[in-house]
Amino acid sequence: MSTQKKQGYILLVEDEENLQEALKLNLELEGYEVTCAGNGSDALKRINEEYFDLIILDVMLPELDGIGVAENVRLKNNDVPILMLSAKSTNADKVLGLKKGADDYITKPFNLEELLLRVQKLINKNKKLQDKETIEDRYQFGKNTVDFKAQTATNFRGENIELSKKEVMLLKLLLENKNDVVPREKILQSVWGYNVYPTTRTVDNFILSFRKYFEEDSRNPRYFQSIRGVGYKFTL
């Protein structure tokens, strides 16, 4: 995996090969990591397996069209931004696309510079929404205290706990998003830097450790909740 920080991960869903290649090249020149899909079914498979900051989605696709893909993504409570591309330019088509989950809609043929600006805008907006207010170096919940700088914690039993770097990153992410569900994909991308998801046990094991450290009754957790099929939540 490249160590160079990417501007964002994009899924480009376009069945017209020449256009797909041209868009991929131009997006990569802007510093984005681009994954391509040529039909709706392949797109959904990719979305279920990888993290994306943006989906560029053609409406007219074989197997499952772009409207169907967008609907499916939103049904799973995935709020990844979607930029729809369509040869259909009527207001009714635009309204339908936006109703089914698109964040923006651009008609073909389009100006490349305009497309790149819209891409940048959607990715920046998404990242701002995801970047919650940062918390202090020391954080207390219940009778537990975490010192992020020292990578240590003191729990309700008065025990001192040495935290690994990954534990600190995950704990901070959950606390910054307190009372909100953090999707598993977001956790893996933020803490592990994975675009392709590994086994979900990776995160589960860390959550089990947090319960062991900080919960008075680890079988009935008060702070660290698992939301089945979605992600995890720190409740306060």
Report d(CA 224, CA 96) in Å as an integer. Answer: 39
Q: Is residue 113 part of a domain?
A: yes
Q: Is residue 1 part of a domain?
A: no
Q: Report the run of H or E that residue 9 belongs to, with start and end.
A: strand 8-13
CATH number at residue 207: 1.10.10.10
Which value, in Å, is the radius of gyration of the alpha carbons in the chain? 20
**Is the same domain home to 101 and 145?**
no
* The pLDDT of residue 63: 86
Q: Is residue 36 part of a domain?
A: yes
Q: Where are the alpha helices (DSSP H) in the chain?
A: 17-29, 40-49, 66-75, 91-99, 112-130, 165-176, 184-187, 201-214
**Is the same domain home to 219 and 147?**
yes
* The pLDDT of residue 200: 65
* The pLDDT of residue 199: 63
Domain of residue 197: give its range.
138-234
Low-confidence stretches of the chain (pLDDT beneath 50): 1-3
Q: Based on the structure, what is the number of domains in the chain?
A: 2
Domain boundary among 109, 130, 151: 130
Domain boundary among 65, 96, 130: 130
Q: Is residue 78 part of a domain?
A: yes
* The pLDDT of residue 130: 65
* The pLDDT of residue 50: 84
* The pLDDT of residue 182: 86
Domain boundary among 78, 112, 130: 130
Per-residue CA distances from 211 to 141, 166, 175 (Å): 13, 16, 14
* The pLDDT of residue 2: 41
CATH number at residue 17: 3.40.50.2300
**Is the same domain home to 15 and 102?**
yes
**Is the same domain home to 189 and 98?**
no
Q: Is the peptide bond prior to 81 cis by the omega test (within 30 degrees of 0)?
A: no
* The pLDDT of residue 124: 87
The overall pTM is greater than 0.95: no
Torsion of the alpha carbons at 103, 107, 112 and 115, rounded to the nearest 10: -10
Q: Is residue 2 part of a domain?
A: no
* The pLDDT of residue 236: 85
